[in-house]
Structure formats: C-alpha cells, structure tokens
C-alpha cells in the first residue's frame, strides 16, 4: 500500500502559526507529511524543523542566509530561496495543501501561485485577501480549490454557516479581545511603547499581529477578509469586544437567531479543522471549562480611540486599490513604530494620511495593486510626524 498521508507545505513555518501547525501535525501522527517548509529569516529553526519532519524541501525567503541554510539542512532535503523558491515549492505536483502563514503582503504571490497550481489553501495570511481579494477569489473559482480559514474568527464563522443558505445570513459578528490597550485612554496611548503593545491579554502571536491587535487594525483586516471569504457586504460585518476570547465569532440569521462557535483560545483548534476538513478528529487540547467563567462580557469597540475599524469601512467603500493602500501604510507604520521611529498613535496618523492621498483605481489587476502598494509604502516611509 502507498503512503496515504496528505502532503502539506507550511509557509511561515518558524512563526507562531507555523509552530501551532506543527503541534497539530505531531498530534495527528500519520495523517500528514510536511513535504516542504518556508521561512523568512530564522535559518537555524527552519533547518531543525526540516530535519525533525524529514521534509523534502526547505525555502528561505526574505533576508535569510541561504548559504547557512544549505550547510545546516539534512541530507536529502532540497533548498530553495526567495519568492521564486516559494512559488516553485507550492506548485510541485506532490503537494496537496498549502498552509499560508506568511505575515504581510509577502503572502500574495505565493498564495496566487498555489491556487493556480490547484492546491487547497489553509489561509492565515489575511493581508493577501485585503490587498487583492477580488483577484484571489476569482482564481479560487477558476481553479476550483478550497480556501479554508485559519484565523480563529473566520474559522468560527465558517463552522457556523456550514450547511446554511447564504440568503439566510443576516450578519457576521467578529469578536475581538481589544488588544493590549483596550482600557487605555487616547492620551495614554500616545506614549505607549512596543513592550506595552506586545502585552496581549489573551493570545501569543508574532510581533506584527500583536501590534495590529493593539491598534485594532488586525480586526479591520479581518472585516475585509470576511467580506471576501463569505461574500458578505461590509455593512453586514460587525465587531464586538469580548474580553474572555472564548466565543470566536457569531453569525446572526434573518429570523433573529444566532450561532456562536466557542472553544479554548488556542490556534491549534482552527488550524486542525483547516487541515482535516471536512472531518473533525480528536484534538490534543482540553475542551472549554465553563465553570472557569463567572460571566462572559461584551462591549462595542470605541471607534474614536481605535480608528482602524473606520479605515476598513472607508477602504471597502472606496474599493479598488484602497484596501491595498491601507494595508501597505499599516505595514510600514508598524515597522516604524517597532523601530521607535514614530509613536504608537503615529500608526493611525500614517494610515489616514496615506489613504487620504490615494485615488483608488477600480477593478485593478495585479500590476495596479502592486504599484499602489509600492507607492503607499514610499509615502508612509517618508512621512514626517510631529
């Protein structure tokens, strides 16, 4: 008998989603073979993963040292490098499913390549859909592949609407922890440090995603992602703050009833469902203990203190290249904040300024999207903030 394991590729294997994906793979034993791995800069960790998992391929992108990776990889593991290497890996005929967990706009080209190669996608990289959702979903339809959401919120919505008629859905409600500054005033946030921003109350995530959570830009990106994944207009996608983070999202139907998806706040749950869909297999984590929670609390987000949600509404209203511009400005602003080049509140001012300067192009192709992204990054990187 041949090997019946599903061959998967993990893009972003050394990050937090990559770590959780490998935890799920180890738990599920013979269900999966990690055929290939890709990472940005963490060469040593990538080499260790490739050796442990007997992967056929390892790709170092970004600023990673390909020569060092070549020295560290075990015999039999082929090394590729750069975006071209990632595209080559996801296009190989042996690959069944691609876990896309590359942070930021760098996920777009590998995602498109995997879709065009007919691979199913477990998607954690929300920025690709924000930048080019229309283009990506057209390719998904053209190549008849499945995009299975890995974000806990979108996995929750996906599970709530399975088997339901689209016309019966009234609205989607994405839950949010509120991030590190949910109880801070606007004046307090002006002097917030990176260390402050990384004190997330619930989730253990990478730096960029955690800062996005602190600005609530993470939720703004998720609104646009939900629009494309579930074919819902922006006005039917709401956000609510839920401190306990055990309800991962909700769906309201036209009769006024709701379905919610609940569970312990751990990314292994949505990752496992994306890998095993449509099956549910026994998990390695403890189920939710209701006795631990005296109450579950909810509140509406303060859109004046956290204007990111307003940016998402504007980007969706303007359409075209505007979401890509919003995303690009945010990525640059977060990098500048992490480098202590601008204050925390300067992230919002950067995004607002760059979006205000952009005239969106309707129904853009890939070249127009990448051009808008590049121009937005230039403006955001050169912007002088007082």
Confidence of residue 16 (pLDDT cuts 50, 70, 90): very high
CA distance 126 to 226: 9
Smallest CA-to-CA distance from 115 within 132, 98, 94, 93 is with 98
CA distance 119 to 173: 29
User: Which CATH architecture is the domain 6-149 placed in?
Assistant: 3-Layer(aba) Sandwich (3.40)
> If you average pLDDT over residues 25-40, what whole number do you get?
95
Under 8 Å CB-to-CB from 83, ≥6 apart: which residues? Answer: 61, 106, 109, 110
List the single range of 26-30, 226-230, 333-337 with lowest mean pLDDT: 26-30
List the single range of 63-67, 135-139, 176-180, 368-372 with lowest mean pLDDT: 63-67
Give me the residue spans of the domains in the chain: 6-149, 160-265+299-318
Q: What is the pLDDT of residues 108-152, one digit of tens each?
A: 999 999 999 999 999 999 999 999 999 999 999 999 999 999 999
> If you average pLDDT over residues 149-163, what whole number do you get?
97
Bond prior to 278 in cis (omega within 30° of 0): yes
The H-assigned helical ranges of the chain are: 16-28, 43-53, 66-72, 82-90, 108-116, 126-143, 152-161, 186-190, 194-197, 207-215, 217-230, 268-276, 308-318, 322-338, 346-356, 366-382
Q: What is the pLDDT of residues 277-294, one digit of tens each?
A: 999 999 888 888 888 888
Cβ neighbourhood burial of 142 (10 Å; 0-12, 13-18, 19+) = exposed
> If you average pLDDT over residues 222-229, what whole number do you get?
98
Sheet bearing 247-253, strands edge to edge: 237-241, 169-176, 247-253, 258-262
Angle at 328 between CA 106 and CA 122, to 5 degrees: 40
Residue 259 confidence (pLDDT) above 80: yes
> If you average pLDDT over residues 45-55, what whole number do you get?
97
List the single range of 63-72, 74-83, 235-244, 358-367 with lowest mean pLDDT: 63-72
Confidence of residue 88 (pLDDT cuts 50, 70, 90): very high
Residue 2 confidence (pLDDT) above 60: no
Q: What is the pLDDT of residues 317-368, one digit of tens each?
A: 999 999 999 999 999 999 999 999 999 999 999 999 999 999 999 999 999 9
The helices-and-strands tally (H runs, E runs) of the chain is 16, 11
Residue 203 confidence (pLDDT) above 80: no
Instruction: Name the pTM for this structure.
Output: 0.94
Residue 1 confidence (pLDDT) above 50: no
Confidence of residue 66 (pLDDT cuts 50, 70, 90): confident
């Amino acid at each position: 008998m041949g090997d019946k394991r599903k061959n998967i590729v993990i893009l972003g294997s050394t990050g937090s989603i990559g770590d959780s994906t490998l935890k799920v793979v180890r738990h599920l034993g013979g269900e999966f073979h990690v055929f290939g791995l890709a990472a940005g800069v963490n060469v040593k960790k990538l080499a260790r993963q490739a050796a442990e998992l007997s992967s056929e391929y390892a790709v170092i992108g970004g600023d990673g040292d390909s020569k060092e990776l070549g020295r560290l990889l075990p015999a039999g593991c082929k090394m590729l490098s750069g975006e071209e290497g990632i595209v080559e890996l996801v296009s190989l005929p042996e690959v069944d499913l691609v876990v896309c967990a590359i942070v930021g706009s760098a996920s777009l080209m590998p995602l498109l390549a995997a879709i065009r190669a007919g691979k199913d996608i477990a998607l954690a990289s929300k920025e690709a859909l924000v930048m080019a959702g229309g283009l990506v979903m057209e390719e998904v339809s053209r190549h008849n592949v499945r995009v299975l959401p890995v974000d806990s919120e979108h996995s929750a919505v996906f599970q709530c609407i399975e088997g339901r008629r689209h016309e019966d859905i009234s609205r989607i409600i994405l839950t949010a922890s509120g991030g590190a500054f949910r109880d801070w005033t606007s004046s307090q946030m002006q002097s917030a440090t990176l260390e402050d921003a990384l004190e997330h109350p619930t989730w253990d995530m990478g730096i960029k995603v955690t800062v996005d959570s602190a600005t609530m830009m993470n939720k703004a990106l998720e609104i646009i992602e939900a629009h494309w994944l579930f074919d819902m207009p922006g006005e039917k996608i709401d956000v609510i703050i839920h401190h306990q983070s055990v309800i991962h999202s909700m769906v309201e139907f036209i009769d006024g009833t709701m379905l919610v998806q609940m569970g312990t706040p751990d990314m292994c749950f949505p990752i496992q469902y994306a890998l095993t869909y449509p099956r549910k297999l026994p998990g390695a984590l403890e189920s939710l203990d209701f006795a631990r929670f005296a109450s579950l609390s909810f509140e509406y987000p303060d859109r004046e203190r956290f204007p990111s949600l307003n940016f998402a509404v504007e980007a969706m209203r303007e359409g075209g290249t505007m979401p890509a511009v919003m995303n690009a400005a945010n990525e640059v602003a977060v990098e500048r904040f992490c480098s202590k080049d601008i204050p925390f509140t300067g992230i919002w001012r950067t995004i607002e300024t760059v979006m205000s300067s952009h005239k969106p192009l309707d129904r853009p192709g890939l070249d127009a999207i990448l051009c808008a992204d590049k121009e937005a990054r230039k403006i955001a990187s050169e912007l002088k903030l007082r």
